[in-house]
Structure 1
């Protein structure tokens, strides 16, 4: 792992590495089988039944009979209701999950079957079938043994929740749940998955151990429910050069995210290829540049467009990705042809266009730099770029921007920072421009938490401050009231146009993943979906 998880909380995790580990500890109702890239029932017995009414949609689930928690008690509808409360209540660290589930208005229990329940959802969108099942279910017995949330009804967790913020039991629960313990303590990180967290040595490794009598071993026709390796160890190696060296020395069985130049070298080494298989699935992860629109010098979209024309995306792809990437105009993979806006063209390096846009935005070039009077004060256009230290891809992107901007007279300072500091600066809006990556999937395109102005406040996921009244309306509609795939396509293409013009959240390229897996393993389930393989399914090949 290049980045150690900040937390393994199933509600507030913040990176793909954490998600990979949580997937081994907890289950959602539905998830993707990396072997087929199909959505399959996990905790759920089957896909939900769907009943559409005028203004609401009902999704009915039943949990598998075999499903149980680490202590042997059954997973029930009460656990699902508890999880919804945790996801929707105020005061809790649930900023990333809350917007994904705001369309779920209530949960109805089946009095005759404790495993059966119905979600009452506002409106309808094709993605709701997946979204109703795509969140980790928490064990109520373990997370809330004092029943502090029992008095709260899910139906009352919609709209204005300011009165609830004074609820003494909720405040007591929040004090516990928001503590680091709930994201690090092996005794609390006990889910319905096939593994438990055995050890977490800060900055070194995390080790998971297979449960002895896991319920998933007793189900039929569930090849996607696996827990085969007895132990899985995730080594934390922030420096990729060190990680590749460990791979070459046969100290790692799996390494993903291998830099393109090193990957090309590995392809030429026969002794390495004898022991390792190399894989390049088309990933659903894209790299983007985020510009802080809250800073007065970046408030004019023409200034941001000028910067977009200095990113040199084609050079970044060539230098840092060795062409293992595809340029994109937005957060939709070009491979998803129904939703990708082919009428737009990715930003290209164009210093003349950048100069023209800067002048149009009111900047004047003098004394070797660009100046403008902002709020009565003369300001110079400078850019500080931050990125995760140790990432050659981001470092190259920052260097190319620095060189390109120098050609038109914009000073650029580049700064590699630790991942925790990058996350903190992003949340607190303490940046000019950053490079980050986001993982997605081909099933759901609800970008509301990332792009809606409601989530642009400090601590929200809309770091750049992107948002127009029209884009907000589109995001609201996509998340709750889209009636057909055709309408969804039209709205997503228009959203890409607005994002392209606003140039605050500038999508640059989608990558091809680069993974090495030791040849002694079979059934790796290679996929473009993160984490690009399913370690829980690994089997040893027979000699």
Structure 2
């Protein structure tokens, strides 16, 4: 199988990965207890033998799992509850690069191992919410024998990793483990990056490709109760092709078997080409991915929300969708998909181009319109309202959005400079808070709506994922409460309030949800196409007779 990879992963660490391409590869190397089957978008047991048994008590809930008897690591040793306990320690301990996943497991207070069954265990969880059934099983399980051969984390207790962890920061064993685990080499190591999945990372040629090789005797083959566990292609080659035009040329010349994220205009052209359609099938599922604009609220000139609201009213979302997506997209008021009708706030109207309103907001924020732009006295200095907008190079989605915004802003006297940059540099600048405004996309799923890492003020420090600095006491409380909501009705009310706050603060501005557009060579069968990333399950593909 030859698959295009648009962005080279910064790391394949199962704990600190940061992009969709890395996640797609990790799903082939490692497994979680539960996952979604892309054939029907239903949550099913993967490493687990079944969905967890749930027992609700007064202040805690218990989730008991049994790991599949067949489940084993690359060296043939069994996957056990001890590996799950080790993984929890890695996700919860201080000093480790675990900020991305740490909030998702905060509610797990402890793990109880069954002394009579090495594959059985119980999570002790704070409170209860319906999402916990998925969240308790939605992280990659790590092999302790590979990640911690010296058993440095073995003395730590999971129960001790809740609350204040300052004392542990001086733990010599933890510091030694962190020094190795956090090293860039760890996230690139073919020796360490071996999980319970059906594939091994065979080679990684920086800037060119990553190749995965099927395990010869993988335990997941031919399980009668789990046909969705698959590892069919012998090799999967992820070809690094950042530029969309180059990727399309590779598809047309039959050098790729799968291409997703096809530009809308080219997708429409391909649908008209009879010769191409004889060899490739075309799909356009609704995706759980949205384009958004981020504004650095820490900058004095952008600290007033009325200034940010004015900028939001210069985002011509309809034109962006028409030009970039050929209308394969849906405007949104926030990071909740409009298709999730119970949780989407349909009382709000998506931001759209409204130049008069933008100028009124600028005036109310203290900006004065002069012949050559908008000016204001800030901290004793006369400052002009200008913007630099950053986006990932090689994506026409972001480039078109930036240029359309640049034109709309120019019409009201705001000079905008657009700057494409390599993805790793953009990520570095955002984490260092070295930016004014940017366009990016985020992928999610309909099962878990946990926005804490992106929007909570606890994650707004340098290096954190809340790069815009968004956060109010109310929004922090709402984000905390969303993860603890024990009924869909309570959760819906909280999510709608979060969307209202985001809309009003205009720091993290959701623009539109995408439809994916992909082509798959017709020589393959068992093609599962879904709105869930990566939109297809490459491990399931079979060759037709």
1:478 counterpart residue number? 482
Unpaired runs of 5+ residues, structure 1, are none
User: How far 1:367 moved relative to its partner?
Assistant: 3.3
1:235 counterpart residue number? 239
Distance in 1 between residues matched to 2:441 and 2:228, nearest whole Å:
28
- Within the candidate set 84, 89, 112, 1:85 is matched to 89
User: How far 1:373 moved relative to its partner?
Assistant: 1.2
- Within the candidate set 491, 496, 501, 2:494 is matched to 491
1:296 counterpart residue number? 300
Q: Normalising by structure 1, report the TM-score.
A: 0.99
- Does 1:125 find its partner at 2:126? no
2:392 counterpart residue number? 388
User: How far 1:181 moved relative to its partner?
Assistant: 2.0
Cα deviation digits, residues 236-280 of structure 1 (max 9, x gap): 001100000010000000000001111111111111111101100
Distance in 1 between residues matched to 2:157 and 2:30, nearest whole Å:
24
- Does 1:534 find its partner at 2:541? no
1:194 counterpart residue number? 198
Distance in 1 between residues matched to 2:76 and 2:150, nearest whole Å:
19
2:365 counterpart residue number? 361
1:398 counterpart residue number? 402
Distance in 2 between residues matched to 1:317 and 1:151, nearest whole Å:
54
1:109-148 residue pairs with structure 2 within 5 A?
109-148=113-152
- Does 1:342 find its partner at 2:346? yes
Classify the secondary structure of the residue corresponding to 2:478: helix
Q: Alignment RMSD, CA only?
A: 0.7
Does the Cα contact within 8 Å between 1:66 and 1:219 map onto a contact in 2? no
Classify the secondary structure of the residue corresponding to 1:494: helix
User: How far 1:447 moved relative to its partner?
Assistant: 0.8
Distance in 2 between residues matched to 1:434 and 1:105, nearest whole Å:
37
Cα deviation digits, residues 414-440 of structure 1 (max 9, x gap): 000001011111111111111110011
Cα deviation digits, residues 46-95 of structure 1 (max 9, x gap): 00011111211111111000000000000000000000000011111111
Distance in 1 between residues matched to 2:128 and 2:392, nearest whole Å:
39
Classify the secondary structure of the residue corresponding to 2:47: coil
Distance in 1 between residues matched to 2:164 and 2:241, nearest whole Å:
44
User: How far 1:371 moved relative to its partner?
Assistant: 0.9
Does the Cα contact within 8 Å between 1:125 and 1:478 map onto a contact in 2? no
- Does 1:517 find its partner at 2:520? yes
1:244-255 residue pairs with structure 2 within 5 A?
244-255=248-259
Distance in 1 between residues matched to 2:329 and 2:405, nearest whole Å:
18
Distance in 1 between residues matched to 2:13 and 2:538, nearest whole Å:
20
1:285 counterpart residue number? 289
1:102 counterpart residue number? 106
1:412-491 residue pairs with structure 2 within 5 A?
412-480=416-484, 482-491=485-494
Distance in 2 between residues matched to 1:44 and 1:497, nearest whole Å:
38
Does the Cα contact within 8 Å between 1:389 and 1:417 map onto a contact in 2? yes
1:170-209 residue pairs with structure 2 within 5 A?
170-209=174-213
User: How far 1:407 moved relative to its partner?
Assistant: 0.4
- Within the candidate set 267, 278, 288, 2:271 is matched to 267
Distance in 2 between residues matched to 1:280 and 1:121, nearest whole Å:
39
Unpaired runs of 5+ residues, structure 2, are none
Cα deviation digits, residues 444-475 of structure 1 (max 9, x gap): 11111111111111111111111111111111
1:42 counterpart residue number? 46
- Does 1:5 find its partner at 2:9? yes
Runs of 4+ in structure 1 deviating by more than 3 angstroms, as ranges, are none
Cα deviation digits, residues 95-152 of structure 1 (max 9, x gap): 1011111111111111111111111111111111111100000000010010100111
User: How far 1:218 moved relative to its partner?
Assistant: 4.6
Distance in 1 between residues matched to 2:107 and 2:401, nearest whole Å:
38
Distance in 2 between residues matched to 1:364 and 1:406, nearest whole Å:
16
Distance in 2 between residues matched to 1:97 and 1:427, nearest whole Å:
17
Distance in 2 between residues matched to 1:35 and 1:411, nearest whole Å:
48
